[in-house]
Structure 1
Amino acid sequence: MAEPVEVIRSTALGAVPHGFLGRRGGVSTGVTAGLNVGLGSRDDDDAVMRNRALAAAAVLPGAELVTPYQVHSPDAVIVRRAWTLADRPRADAVVTDEPGLLLGIVTADCAPVLLADLEAGVVATAHAGWRGAHDGVIAATVAAMEQLGAVPARIRAAIGPCIAQASYEVDEAFRDRFGADGEEFFVPGKPGHHHFDLEGYAASRLAASGVKSIDRLGLDTYSDPCRFFSYRRSVHSGENTYGRQISLIGLPGSP
């Protein structure tokens, strides 16, 4: 019997359909074995599309899956209807108030962030790698939610599986990008290196945008190869490609 799709949920998001998915339960084989949803990975296209369908069905059956073309940008887009894969906008966050749409972003060490204002009926998901988080993707996501009637103080957010500080060694040049304001997110590593707290930094950007309810799941993609894909782990292992996992949130109903 095939392994079931694992859906990791946040208590902060309550009953809104959502989930952080790892690699368990998919049909891909080889290096990307499991629930690989990465369109840019060296995987069989049919397997990737089957995995995407499995992921969507596990979170909001019957919904239309909407994912952007991620480019590590600070850009968030509002979506009112599904687009084709060929028409995906280049952005790293998607926001909607339309029922029947399932918003998704893919990650492989970057921080996936799911957000919801339950009273306004507005949901969003953001891809917060260090660059996007530093350049403002979380603030842009909250601002786009506000355009649809959300109130930052009402927004609930959850930060899903991402590379943990202990696994995320960076050099001095990386550290210097953050200046004095980012000092609290680094601890010393080997000479000339530091360890960066991506999850903590993403949480700080949410707080700075007015979000008060923030759930940090504390799940490390790098150190758990049976459960999650990891870009950095694939590099350290000398693999020629890597899988991606997906994080999803939506509103029930028909678009």
Structure 2
Amino acid sequence: MNVWGITDRGKIREQNQDAFAHQVLPDGRVIALVCDGMGGARAGNIASSMAVDVFMEAFLEDGEDSPDLEHMERAAARANRQVFRRAVEDENCVGMGTTLVAALAGEEEALILNEGDSRAYHISEESGISQVTRDHSLVEDLVERGELTRDQARVHPHKNLITRALGAEPDLKADSFRRELAEGDFLLLCSDGLSNVVSEQEILYEVVHGGEACTCCRRLLDIALHRGAPDNVTAVLIQC
């Protein structure tokens, strides 16, 4: 398993409120996550950084003897509690929260958690690209009700409004997914700063045909920057 990541504040935002982390575990699997903070110039950065740090610390703690999905959910729940507590106790952080998309990927299967509108994509040369996660967003709800098309959703003025976030409530119930993996498959975790400006077909091309896997995150970021990158951009690529 290989993993690479990149983040950038983009062309418009003054601060990067995205955060990410990844690590190859002793058994060869990869744990990775991307968070996109919200709640003001300072608080969004705190929320995403806290969530990443607490999740990774909790996940990597020794002595865990539970199924992998429960292990991930427990790490996300701890991050949620700490972000929520900070938002309640610190007047500068009132209303802060963050998206979270996390993956535990092995040679045959990936477990994925999702809260908010940061995404996980499964990519392979044979089957193409598919979005694993479902956005918790206003426009996604409108699309599911048939009130917007996918193309309309991409340019909707409220496309950045999310309906769920880590740290917004005292208890977290993130969505979870299992995805079978084969040799040569990829998982891409990204914030909406990438998915809002780079299409799925462009992502597929860069991952499968654009060049070496180790430079793919940089190429995807360059596309977003070339198009003005109005939001922070973060991508983590896992290769089986």
Q: TM-score, normalization: structure 1?
A: 0.30
Q: Which structure dedicates a bigger proportion of its chain to helix?
A: 2
Q: TM-score, normalization: structure 2?
A: 0.31
